[in-house]
Structure 1
Amino acid sequence: MTLADPAPTRPARIFDRSTPPAIITLVVMAGLGALSMNIFLPSMPGMAAYFEVEYAVMQLAISAYLTVMAAVQLLIGPLSDRYGRRPVVLGAFAIFTVATLGCILAPTIEIFMACRMAQAGVSAGLVLSRAMVRDMVGPEKSASMIGYVTMCMAVAPMIGPMIGGALEQTWGWHANFIVLLVFGIAATALCWADAGETNRHRSASFTEQFRAYPELFASRRFWGYALACAFASGAFFTFMGGAPYVATEMLGLSPSELGFYFGFIAGGYMSGNFLSGRYSQRVGLNRMILTGTLVSTCAMLGCLVMFLAGLAHPLALFGPVFVMGMGNGMTMPNAMAGSLSVRPQLAGSASGLGSTLMMGGGAALSAATGALLGPETGPWPLIGMMLLTGVLSTLSILYVMAVERRRLREEIAVAREAEARARHVGEARPQSMPGMQDLRGR
């Protein structure tokens, strides 16, 4: 067995710490991290009033949190490669649970923000759920399992504000964090009972690990896969940053109608995940990624054409967004699986770096879209930015495919050269045999 192969593991059994985690445990790990990002978004005006601060200060609970989350993910991966997935995820979830309790009890904005930043430890669930999948199975099969995990990651930020709005209206902003506290305790208990260790290729030391990093950072395939995934994810962040403004100010949708249409992208993503899980092993990672990126790009081209034709209707935006979500549902799980398969012994580090690219790039795209949108710009910054992410994602996977074709040609050339050399040696031997026989005769 090579490091490219997954470690042999016993079949997963629920609530058995001696086996790998069940898929439901991995989904919960990723879902908690995704839900914590913005569940309290509708409560922010009320929270600003409660702490007697400006709304801009309260917004740091989202923007600064995403920044800290991106930084933490760079540490989570290497720690899990060195010490194992299980202890890191349990420790991170315990920190999240205590920090959530601190958010509930915080008497001042300073204490609240400190506890909110400590909640970023939950990003271990986002990183390690994917690394655990790669530990358990090979790259082709891991794409379908990662699809279920990323489906939860994509859907949770979409439905989180809807849940948070209902909680805010009924019980106030504290209810959002009470729900996160309950989920945190439940997720920690589930991981304790079910998440067996999957990392069988632990680094002997951080020094050894750091020596291996140049292999990962120098891999063109890794960067191609990671950027394909980051740009596809960037379309979601761009949509979340700009769609509410376009929908309410330009298309005249009410908040309830916006909530309904917001479900389109989640529905599309789940459809793409279904297709990915069903066909990835048959079609292959690269072809599935390329298909997904082309679907997303064509969807946003269609959106652009409809708005240029004057069809300023909600379905002219959200219909193509559904198709774009489907394309991303095919792209992201396979791109993640590809990036983790480049250096399997650094799967945790690769997952952390990939997540950081997704979070950091997504936050930048979301902020840029929000800054560009205005009454004088129309919907064009939103449509253009989402179209751009599709094009860049397509170029990224085409780059990976070109690198792999070149590597295959080089391997074929080396094999042919070795075959020719062996043939030459084989032809030379019979020519020397008569001489040997003559010597023996003498």
Structure 2
Amino acid sequence: MTTQSPSLDAPVWLDRFTPPVLLTLVLATGLAALNMNIILPSLPRIAEYYGEDYALVQLAVSGYLATTAVLQLVIGPLSDRYGRRPVLLASFVVFLLATVGCILAPSFEIFLLCRLIQTSVSSGIALSRAILRDMVPPDRAASMLGYVTMGMAVAPMVGPMIGGVLDQWFGWQAVFGLTLAFGCLVLAMVWADLGETNTSRSADFAAQFRALPELARSRRFWGYSASAAFASGAFFAFLGGGPFVATVMLDMSSSELGLYFGLIAVGYMGGNFVSARVTERVGMNRMMVAGAVTATIGVVLIFVFMSMPVLHPLSFFGPMVLIGFGNGLTLPSANAGTVSVRPHLAGSASGIGGAMMIGGGAALSALAGALLGPGTGPWPLLVIMLVSEVCCILAALDVIRTARRRGEDPYGFPVSKR
């Protein structure tokens, strides 16, 4: 089995009969990442507008994540059967219609339904990985994913800030107006620039699901997927418990919290940049281990600094730069490896891997929030993060061990069945 289809032409800007340029994939993933959390500052106003409890309105976030995780399992197989282009276009059309529904919803129940339907935009994240794997070999895909995930880091960082300004000046509907306009732009870009990259589609949808056991039997698929899930899980746990530690223990204001959260994204983008530049020379598996070790060191440093008698916001957020940097090294390679084990099932692999990342991350985020309390200190959160990063190291090492046991280059990019 070859690493990529020889029939794919080189990308041509705004040519819908050739593979897409990198900017199109960055915009597609950026829209999906932005839509996840841009409404966070608007939740109180939405609750007031519909006269609902804030806890119920939070389903617009937690329910969104859960639905996204489930949807990942369907989008991938659909794209393996019908192609990346039609599935991506249809997903964005559904997203735009759901966004209009959110703006015009007369009741919270209809609003929440439309919000959950908005999760169709998550196809931008899942299928960008599969498209890159269609286009290039695994090592090159890992490098290109480094640039794509830089866009995924920027969108969640600036999203709540933009959403807060729009909500304050124009009302919460303006937030959805922005995502509607951005969605129209991305849909136009995908339609004009994305040529079909899946040249080996499955015969029928049922056959696609019958082929999933072939993927499930691959130990390295689960190793790559677990590496990505545990790396992102540590970050999601921080999102669930970090604000509590910052406000209760460090007495930080919401504006300070937003500023220090930006440090994490800076570290993540730095790791993505390094990953994009050196993965082809170092190897995906080495990058995963290096990133997981770097992130683990960051968690250990937080343990040390938070044990000191005098605390500062940098005691907590400073080492998070290392964790963000480490994840920026790990995730592009882990995601590229996930979709490379069975190239003809790249869409399905991307969907399952995405479901593990988002579903597992949401669970760890909820767990961190539940375990933290006035008398616990930051330790439950830090233990969850440390265990998650150690598991990431073990999963990456298992990928290397499996390759070595099969007589393959443990740091290379083999494509034979395993």
Alignment of 1:209-288 (within 5 A): 209-288=208-287
Residue in structure 2 matched with residue 70 of structure 1 by the alignment: 69
The gaps in structure 2 that reach 5 residues or longer are 411-418
User: Which whole-Å CA distance do the structure 1 matches of 2:280 and 2:37 have between them?
Assistant: 34
Secondary structure at 2:251's aligned position in 1? Answer: coil
RMSD (Å), alpha carbons: 1.5
User: Which whole-Å CA distance do the structure 2 matches of 1:311 and 1:406 have between them?
Assistant: 49
Secondary structure at 2:318's aligned position in 1? Answer: helix
User: Which whole-Å CA distance do the structure 1 matches of 2:389 and 2:174 have between them?
Assistant: 38
Q: Is the 8 A contact 2:3 2:138 kept in 1?
A: no
Residue in structure 2 matched with residue 53 of structure 1 by the alignment: 52
Q: Is the 8 A contact 2:403 2:409 kept in 1?
A: no
**1:91 paired to 2:90:** yes
Residue in structure 2 matched with residue 156 of structure 1 by the alignment: 155
User: Which whole-Å CA distance do the structure 2 matches of 1:371 and 1:330 have between them?
Assistant: 29
**1:367 paired to 2:344:** no
Residue in structure 1 matched with residue 393 of structure 2 by the alignment: 394
Amino acid at match of 1:127: A
User: Which whole-Å CA distance do the structure 1 matches of 2:281 and 2:309 have between them?
Assistant: 41
Residue in structure 2 matched with residue 417 of structure 1 by the alignment: none
User: Which whole-Å CA distance do the structure 2 matches of 1:409 and 1:37 have between them?
Assistant: 40
Residue in structure 2 matched with residue 110 of structure 1 by the alignment: 109
User: Which whole-Å CA distance do the structure 2 matches of 1:7 and 1:390 have between them?
Assistant: 38
Residue in structure 2 matched with residue 339 of structure 1 by the alignment: 338
Secondary structure at 2:12's aligned position in 1? Answer: coil
Q: Is the 8 A contact 1:267 1:322 kept in 2?
A: yes
User: Which whole-Å CA distance do the structure 1 matches of 2:106 and 2:85 have between them?
Assistant: 34
Amino acid at match of 1:295: T
Amino acid at match of 1:42: P
Deviations 1:169-205 (A, max 9, x none): 1111111100011011111111111111110111112
User: Which whole-Å CA distance do the structure 2 matches of 1:93 and 1:159 have between them?
Assistant: 22
Secondary structure at 1:408's aligned position in 2? Answer: coil
CA drift of 1:69 comes to 1.1
Secondary structure at 1:310's aligned position in 2? Answer: coil
Amino acid at match of 2:393: T
CA drift of 1:151 comes to 2.1
**1:184 paired to 2:183:** yes
CA drift of 1:7 comes to 4.1
CA drift of 1:8 comes to 3.5
User: Which whole-Å CA distance do the structure 1 matches of 2:64 and 2:295 have between them?
Assistant: 29
Deviations 1:216-260 (A, max 9, x none): 111110000000001111122112111111111211111111111
Amino acid at match of 2:31: L
Q: Is the 8 A contact 2:3 2:136 kept in 1?
A: no
Amino acid at match of 1:100: T
User: Which whole-Å CA distance do the structure 2 matches of 1:144 and 1:73 have between them?
Assistant: 23
In 2 relative to 1, CA 326–409 (structure 1 residues): closer, same or farther, beyond 3 Å? closer
Q: Aligned residues, how many?
A: 410
Q: Is the 8 A contact 1:293 1:394 kept in 2?
A: yes
Residue in structure 1 matched with residue 375 of structure 2 by the alignment: 376
Q: Which moved more, 1:305-314 or 1:65-74?
A: 305-314
User: Which whole-Å CA distance do the structure 2 matches of 1:238 and 1:19 have between them?
Assistant: 40
In 2 relative to 1, CA 181–93 (structure 1 residues): closer, same or farther, beyond 3 Å? same
User: Which whole-Å CA distance do the structure 2 matches of 1:186 and 1:17 have between them?
Assistant: 15
CA drift of 1:72 comes to 1.0
User: Which whole-Å CA distance do the structure 2 matches of 1:337 and 1:306 have between them?
Assistant: 35
Secondary structure at 1:341's aligned position in 2? Answer: coil
In percent, how many aligned pairs have the same letter?
56
Decide which structure has the larger Cα Rg and report it: 1
Q: Is the 8 A contact 1:297 1:387 kept in 2?
A: yes
User: Which whole-Å CA distance do the structure 2 matches of 1:67 and 1:212 have between them?
Assistant: 25
User: Which whole-Å CA distance do the structure 1 matches of 2:179 and 2:115 have between them?
Assistant: 12
Q: Is the 8 A contact 1:6 1:138 kept in 2?
A: no
User: Which whole-Å CA distance do the structure 2 matches of 1:35 and 1:251 have between them?
Assistant: 28
Amino acid at match of 1:10: D
In 2 relative to 1, CA 167–409 (structure 1 residues): closer, same or farther, beyond 3 Å? closer
**1:296 paired to 2:295:** yes
Residue in structure 1 matched with residue 415 of structure 2 by the alignment: none
In 2 relative to 1, CA 274–76 (structure 1 residues): closer, same or farther, beyond 3 Å? same
User: Which whole-Å CA distance do the structure 2 matches of 1:169 and 1:335 have between them?
Assistant: 39
User: Which whole-Å CA distance do the structure 2 matches of 1:410 and 1:325 have between them?
Assistant: 28
User: Which whole-Å CA distance do the structure 1 matches of 2:396 and 2:207 have between them?
Assistant: 30
CA drift of 1:157 comes to 2.1
Amino acid at match of 2:35: S
Normalising by structure 1, what TM-score? 0.90
Q: Is the 8 A contact 1:30 1:129 kept in 2?
A: yes
Secondary structure at 2:406's aligned position in 1? Answer: helix
In 2 relative to 1, CA 388–7 (structure 1 residues): closer, same or farther, beyond 3 Å? farther
Amino acid at match of 1:296: A
Q: Is the 8 A contact 2:150 2:273 kept in 1?
A: no
Amino acid at match of 2:181: V
Residue in structure 2 matched with residue 26 of structure 1 by the alignment: 25
Q: Is the 8 A contact 1:6 1:134 kept in 2?
A: no
User: Which whole-Å CA distance do the structure 1 matches of 2:14 and 2:234 have between them?
Assistant: 37
Q: Is the 8 A contact 1:104 1:177 kept in 2?
A: yes
In 2 relative to 1, CA 110–402 (structure 1 residues): closer, same or farther, beyond 3 Å? same
Normalising by structure 2, what TM-score? 0.96
Deviations 1:133-176 (A, max 9, x none): 00000000000111122222233223221111111111111111
Kindly report structure 1 stretches of 4+ aligned residues shifted beyond 4 Å. Answer: none
Q: Is the 8 A contact 2:77 2:209 kept in 1?
A: no
